[in-house]
Each structure stands twice: as C-alpha cells, then as structure tokens.
Amino acid sequence: MPTLRRQVAAATAVLALSLTAGAVAIPAVAAPRQAEKTATATGYGGAVSTVDADASAAAIGVLRRGGNAADAAVAAAATLGVTEPYSAGIGGGGYFVFYDAKSGEVQTIDGRETAPATMPTNAFINAATNKPYSFAELVSSGVSVGVPGSLATWERALKRWGTLELGDALQPAIDVARDGFIVDDTFRQQTLDNKVRFSAYTPTRSLFLPGGDAPAVGSVFRNPDLAATYRLIAAEGTDAFYSGPLAEEMASTVQAPPKDPAWVPPAGAPATSIPAFPGYLTTADLAGYTTLDQDPTHVEYRGYDVYGMAPSSSGGTTVGEALNILEPFNLADMPTAAALHHYLEATALAFADRGKYVGDPALVDVPTGILTDPLFGKARACNINPATAAAKPVAAGDVSKYGDTCPVAPEAAARGTDTENISTTNMTVADKWGNVVEYTLTIEQTGGSGIVVPGRGFLLNNELTDFSYDSTNPKDPNRVEPGKRPRSSMSPTIILKDDEPFLALGSPGGSTIITTVLQTILNRLDLGMNVSAAIAAPRASQRNTATVTAEPGFISAYGSALAPYGHKLVPAGDAFTSAAEIGAATAIEFGRHGRMVAAAEPVRRGGGSAMVVRPAP
C-alpha cells in the first residue's frame, strides 16, 4: 500500500519540470513529510521506529503481510538508503542485533566496512609533512572508503532469521526510489551542508544538486538510478554488487574519484578543499567481504540484562562498562544534577578504556570480557568523586589487575529527597512473534565520502576515517591496518527483563551514540521517565575531554547545577552540520500481553516515525 508521500509523489510526477542524469526534482503541493510522522505509537502485532515515515511504512507493510522483524528491518533499511541517502545505504555498513523469540537468545551481525587489503598503515599520513591529514582532507576522498557491508548484512539477516527473499525485501525501497519522496527541511539542509563537496564530484552534483541547488522543500525527489541498482540486486542477488560490473565501477570510482577537473573551491573555502585522494578498494576486496556472526556483549544493570554490539564496535563494551561503573550508585535517589554528574564521570572513564583497549578483534587482542566485567566496572567506579568532576582526560584502567574492594561505598554518594555530529541512522523493529531487531547503519559522515558511484544512485562511505589517523603508534588498537575494521561507536542495544524483551534502542551520532544510548537507558531505568520522555530529554556527552558537549536545552536546564562540580558544557555542533543536536534515537518498549510502545524523536532530525501494526484502542 503506497504511503501518503508516495501517493503524492505519483500524483505530481506529471508536473516534472527539470530532469537531470540521476534525479528528478519537481515542485509538489504536498503536505510536508513531518505532518505524517508520529513520535510515539502504542499498540500490538508489531512495531517500528525509524527517523523516516517511508522507512517505517515499509517495515509496517512487511509486518502486516506476515513478514517478521528481520524481514521488516531489511525493507526499512533499504528504504532508508533512498530517503536518508546521506546517512545510510548500500555504500555503507552497520551492526544488526536480533532477539530470537524462539531461542530467547540475542545474536548479532557485524556488517562493518573493512579497510582494503592493500591499504598501507600510513595511508592517512601526509608524506610531505610526516603528519596525519585532517578529517576535512580525508573525508571527501577515495582513501576513506571501506569495503561496504550493508548489503551483505541484509542478506545474512534474512538467511539467519528472515522469511523473505532479498528481492522481495527490497521492493518497497524500489517503489520509493522510483516514485520519489517529498523533500523535507532536514533533507534540504543536509544537502546544503554538503553543497561544496557534492558540487566537486560530477555524479554527486547531478544526483543531489539538480539545477545547481539542493532540492526544494516540498519537491519530489526521485532516484531512478538507485531503483535500477536495487532491481539488479533483486534479480541477481548480492553477487551483482560484490562482483561484476558494479564492483568494477565501485573500485575504479574509489581509485580515481570522479572530481570535476573544472571545479574550483567557492569563495571562502580553503584552496585545499576536496583533495580527492585516491583509495585502495579493489574488486578482490569486494569479492572477499564477509559479515561476521558474533555473540553480543552482556552486562546486568539493576536486574536487567543489557545486550550490545561487541568489537569491532566499541558500543557494547563502552555502554556496558559505564553501566557497571554506575551500578553501585543509587542514581534514582540522587538530585538530578548529582545523577548527571555520575553519568558524565562514568562515560569519561569508559571512554578512556575504549581508547586504550578497543579495536578490531581480528587484529587486536581486545579484553571484551574484562571491560564488561562488573568487578572491573566497580574498580573504575572508585575514581568517581561524588562532589567534583575529575580533570579530563582521565587515565585508562588496568585490565591486568583489578577486583579489589572499592573504597567508594555506594552510600557515600550524595543523596537527595527526590526520586556531534548527527550522521548515521538507526531503527528498532519488533514483530507479533516477539522477535526484535535493533539495527544501526551508516555511511559515516552525513553524505559519506561525498562520492556517488556514477549512474548507480548511491554514495560511498567514508568509514575509514573512524581509524586513528596517526598510525605511528603500534599500541593504538585503532590504527590503520589492511583488512581491518575501524572501531565504531554504534550501540544497538536490546534489554531483557526476566528473559523477555523490555527495551530495544539505538542512535546515530558518531561517538556520541554511546552516551546517547546510555543516557536514554538511565533516563528510563533510573530517572523515572517513560520511553518517549527518555528519548526527548536534552542530551550531554562526556567522552573524556576537557569540556562536555551538550544540547542547548541541556545547558539551560542543568548548566548552572553542574557548574559547581566543575563540568564545563559547550554547545553541540561542528563545522559539518548546522544542527546543535546529539543523536536521533529510536526505541521500542515492551509491556504485558504483547503491548509495544514505539518511540522516535519528537524534534531532532525533523522528528522520527513510530508505527505499530494494530494501534491500541
């Protein structure tokens, strides 16, 4: 059944005014996309939460037709590749976490991009200066493109847990790519934020800057090239992506990025803008890509079982360690500012350990078990002074010796009377059988590498900028190495209570993903908020740096109460994004008798889309 957006798109298609090689942008008289979005939906029979109404509708359609959560998640992911092309798609990767109602087990798929086999460890070092290039130089380059893992993840998820063929799961996305979607403020603004680099690459400019400008709000954006790419994969399977002409085109695009030779940086942009360094991706890298079936991380927190993504993501270990650090403290009984102080101190400690110990376990000995060991967390908790913020950065813990009794008794905590970057995308899906999917997928920076594969309708990732750039330190677990997966922060999380799903959640946001997921869990479990309020609440992120990144709403609500502890809050946002937001979470909470509350962002990223199969009366 077509969504409102697609009905409108079809009705207005005859008004097409301008055609470009890859896209059609036409004015529409449609209601803006936000009008169809609901941030909270309560009901039965299955639920979904994503950032986008078309993606949620794709998932709900699959669930209504009898598909399960894995089927619906793949349909939604493929649709996000159309409607959120700057955050996710087949040019990227991600992490898929699944609760299997039959076995009662949580299992995961690591679909992270990998460094090409011939990528040298000094790939990010400028030979002229012997210093690392900057992020700005690397991001819009072939050298930052890793071997994409999303499509292989979808195939693996369907094979392990789904019922649909890949081609059937792609169909809703093919429809949206062909018929178009209505451009909203977020899509236009994200295009404008990327206008300089998109204009440098000819195929990207043709697709996303038709007529030289970002598509107008309210116009219909169609991507027939992507529809054709999806149709090819639907007909021939993932081999049509990981081998053959498309693989050859991806490799040659990365090795010789299609920068317009006539392009000049606009006034005000540095002369070094878009150096378009060639990358190392080959057809052999693509043919050799595999996803990994992995056990999740697991910690217990206040009687709940919290499952997360093990390395190559640092999400599960860092969220898990922070929860272990916080377990001895009675956050619920503290004044809010005291609880937030503990939250900020716990994440600084956990980020110190993330930096020292976490990398791709295929090449690095990662102490995952120790980082998620409650005794290690308790030992790290000794470093929290309940009255004063520690000077940052704090030192990493010693995983070789810990477990002494903690001198900080939980009761010593203050007691009271009352109870960056916004790229990537996340989804939560559940079905009527009780299966649950938490899936975070990305092309890294909003707009990825900025490089569209000519004529194919999708952007390539810049995931390899998640490596440490200075690869000269052999002890850095996240240094560049050939065939390695860069450390991620993606934190798809499923929480069980008494062996049944209680809450599933995740978020985009680079390394702030970890703090967003953690803060949302604390809001829900410790601070008395319901799931919708837990997502909507203003956020702050302490990642072991001198200052705390915070949303304006957090600064105005808690800035003065946190100042006496010594926390310095600075507004979120960076040179690459115009939004001062942290994350864009999605979640589903599970109640009794099959009741589900799907929750999305009410405001961030223009608001998300929560839907249920059968709304509660």
**Which stretch, 66-74, 303-311, 355-363, 509-517, contacts ligand GLU (CB under 6 A)?**
509-517
Instruction: Please tell me what DSSP assigns to residue 188.
Output: H
Catalytic-residue membership of 291: no
Q: Which of 488, 532, 541, 586 binds ligand GLU (CB under 6 A)?
A: 488
Q: With contact defined as beta carbons under 8 Å apart, do 268 and 196 qualify?
A: no
Q: Which is nearer to ligand GLU, 3 or 442 (CB)?
A: 442
Phi/psi for 503 (5° steps) reads: -155, 135
Q: Find all residues with CB under 8 Å of 559, minimum gap 6, and list them.
A: 550, 569
Q: How far is the CB of 205 from ligand GLU (least distance, A)?
A: 23
Q: What angle do CA 584, 589, 590 make, to 5 degrees?
A: 160
Q: Which of 442, 449, 520, 523 binds ligand GLU (CB under 6 A)?
A: 442
Q: How far is the CB of 487 from ligand GLU (least distance, A)?
A: 8
Q: Is 490 in the site for ligand GLU (CB under 6 A)?
A: yes
Q: Which is nearer to ligand GLU, 141 or 488 (CB)?
A: 488
Identify the active-site residue in 191, 372, 424, 440: 424
Q: Is 421 in the site for ligand GLU (CB under 6 A)?
A: yes
**Tokens coding 125:** 């070092």
Q: Which is nearer to ligand GLU, 466 or 601 (CB)?
A: 466
Q: How far is the CB of 523 from ligand GLU (least distance, A)?
A: 20
Q: How far is the CB of 444 from ligand GLU (least distance, A)?
A: 4
How many Å apart are CA 293 and CA 281, to the nearest integer? 24
Question: For tokens 């993504």, what's the residue?
Answer: 309
Q: Which of 279, 508, 606, 607 binds ligand GLU (CB under 6 A)?
A: 508
Q: Which is nearer to ligand GLU, 466 or 481 (CB)?
A: 466
Q: Residue length, the chain? A: 617
Q: How far is the CB of 466 from ligand GLU (least distance, A)?
A: 5
Ranges of H-type helices in 364-483:
368-371, 374-381
> Among residues 362, 364, 329, 333, which one has the least CA distance to residue 343?
329
Q: Which is nearer to ligand GLU, 41 or 490 (CB)?
A: 490
**Which stretch, 196-204, 377-385, 486-494, 535-543, contacts ligand GLU (CB under 6 A)?**
486-494
Output the CA–CA distances (angstroms, integers) from residue 63 to 70, 98, 342, 366, 613, in the order listed: 10, 16, 41, 38, 7
How many Å apart are CA 35 and CA 117, to the nearest integer? 47
Q: Which is nearer to ligand GLU, 38 or 471 (CB)?
A: 471
Q: How far is the CB of 88 from ligand GLU (least distance, A)?
A: 10
Q: What angle do CA 580, 581, 582 make, to 5 degrees?
A: 135
Which residue number is nearest to ligand GLU in terms of Cβ?
424
Q: Is 444 in the site for ligand GLU (CB under 6 A)?
A: yes
Q: How far is the CB of 606 from ligand GLU (least distance, A)?
A: 17
Q: Of 512-531, which residues contact ligand GLU (CB under 6 A)?
A: 513
Q: Is 509 in the site for ligand GLU (CB under 6 A)?
A: yes
Q: With contact defined as beta carbons under 8 Å apart, do 487 and 358 qualify?
A: yes
Q: Is 423 in the site for ligand GLU (CB under 6 A)?
A: yes
> Among residues 197, 188, 339, which one has the least CA distance to residue 260?
197
Q: Which is nearer to ligand GLU, 513 or 600 (CB)?
A: 513
**Tokens coding 79:** 């649709």
Q: Find all residues with CB under 8 Å of 391, minimum gap 6, and list them.
A: none
**Which stretch, 194-202, 276-284, 288-296, 417-425, contacts ligand GLU (CB under 6 A)?**
417-425
How many Å apart are CA 19 and CA 28, to the nearest integer? 15
Q: How far is the CB of 514 from ligand GLU (least distance, A)?
A: 9
Q: Find all residues with CB under 8 Å of 127, minimum gap 6, and list them.
A: none
Q: Which is nearer to ligand GLU, 557 or 584 (CB)?
A: 584
Binding string, residues 333-372; x marks residues near ligand GLU by CB under 6 A: ----------------------------------------
Q: Of 455-484, which residues contact ligand GLU (CB under 6 A)?
A: 463, 466
Cβ atoms < 10 Å from Cβ of 462: 31
Q: Is 510 in the site for ligand GLU (CB under 6 A)?
A: yes
Question: For tokens 């062996």, what's the residue?
Answer: 499
Q: Is 424 in the site for ligand GLU (CB under 6 A)?
A: yes
Q: Which is nearer to ligand GLU, 463 or 481 (CB)?
A: 463
Q: How far is the CB of 351 from ligand GLU (least distance, A)?
A: 13
Strand, coil or helix: 612: strand
How many residues of this chain interact with ligand GLU, rule: CB under 6 A? 14
Q: Are strands 569-571 and 548-550 parallel, antiparallel or unpaired?
A: parallel
Q: With contact defined as beta carbons under 8 Å apart, do 50 and 59 qualify?
A: yes
| Cα Rg, the chain, nearest whole Å | 23
Question: For tokens 């009352």, what's the residue?
Answer: 418
Q: What is the secondary structure of 340-361 as a DSSP string?
A: HHHHHHHHHHHHHHHHHH-S-T
Q: Which of 489, 519, 541, 577 binds ligand GLU (CB under 6 A)?
A: 489
Q: How far is the CB of 305 from ligand GLU (least distance, A)?
A: 24
**Which stretch, 257-265, 342-350, 505-513, 531-539, contacts ligand GLU (CB under 6 A)?**
505-513
Q: Which is nearer to ligand GLU, 282 or 465 (CB)?
A: 465
Q: Which is nearer to ligand GLU, 489 or 541 (CB)?
A: 489
Q: With contact defined as beta carbons under 8 Å apart, do 303 and 327 qualify?
A: no
Q: Which burial class, exposed, middle or buried, applies to 237 when counting CB atoms under 10 A from its CB (0-12, 13-18, 19+)?
A: middle
How many Å apart are CA 225 and CA 246, to the nearest integer? 12
Q: How far is the CB of 384 from ligand GLU (least distance, A)?
A: 26
**Which stretch, 12-20, 147-155, 504-512, 566-574, contacts ligand GLU (CB under 6 A)?**
504-512
How many Å apart are CA 212 and CA 613, to the nearest integer? 41
**Which stretch, 304-312, 319-327, 365-373, 420-428, contacts ligand GLU (CB under 6 A)?**
420-428
Active-site residue numbers? 424
Interface contacts to ligand GLU, rule CB under 6 A: 421, 423-424, 442, 444, 463, 466, 488-490, 508-510, 513
